[in-house]
Structure 1
């Protein structure tokens, strides 16, 4: 069974309270001294008795420790103040950005033809001018794209025309180099004539050798 923690409360008996104060005070001063020696820490302890009597311990000069404490607390407070100011500034900037986003969203919906019921004639005319300006920019960009594509097609057409002219010149030159081709056609004609004759002679060897033999006979 786990016992609950005993609640600490004030000692009602004055004599017991004074005895306890003396014991705990001496123990606290001793612990402060041990902490400063064992851990090389700067310790400053101030105790006021119920009657207002001062008890203190300082591992160095008490005034120096108090000045250091004040400087530390002031720096911490100034940092907290700067942090609070920065947080407030960030909140203001966030609110301003949210407001701008809402205005931009509303303007976008109006440009799309939505939520126009609250617009007066001046706002509608301004929207119309904005749309006309946007359409003009889009058309200009479209014509630039068309022109670039047309120029590319013209370049391809010129390249194809040049290639066609080159192939035409090559075709005109082919009959001049046709001598070997005519000889080949004549030779094949001779071979066909040889095969048209009925052969009764026995011939042993490869077909090519047989053809040459027949040609030489003819």
Structure 2
């Protein structure tokens, strides 16, 4: 599945070339950015990941449980406590790099001068939210983020990210948040999907992740 590497190259190039645009900043968007920054000061103690990959006429399914064991310059370090089935020596799980790329591209759009479109009164999961849409493109790569946030506090409830590279890849990631007494809300589940669009290549990766027991990162 060498085709997955195209996604990493394309998103890295786009992150260096995103244009800056001046505009009046929505006060609620400012609160949403503050919440996003606050969430980054926390990390889950436990993570469970289920990976379903197909390509090269093969299907692979892997379940990984990881637990926080410490910190490296403020970044969480995890121990794998369970993996089924056990991977071949030197083989890593497919799609993890691309999922990290999708997260990084979301972060690129979460900035004060992003071209944000606001829509109030959007119902999701039986409750009314404010929805923010942000989208940018550079060359063949398009990226967009949609956030459902509390209309008063700006705290995130649900976030969806899309990245598409013409004739390269199509990525989608949805993240659901749960209330947190200090951070406002933290991610609980994420659903990442990657499809390779290279002609004559049929490769896909689906990754379902759950996160629990969030703790503050060291200062």
Normalising by structure 1, report the TM-score: 0.16
Q: Which of 1 and 2 has greater Rg?
A: 1
Relative to its length, the structure with more helix (as a share) is: 1
Normalising by structure 2, report the TM-score: 0.16
Give the number of the structure with larger relative contact order, counting CA–CA contacts within 8 Å between residues 6 or more apart. 2
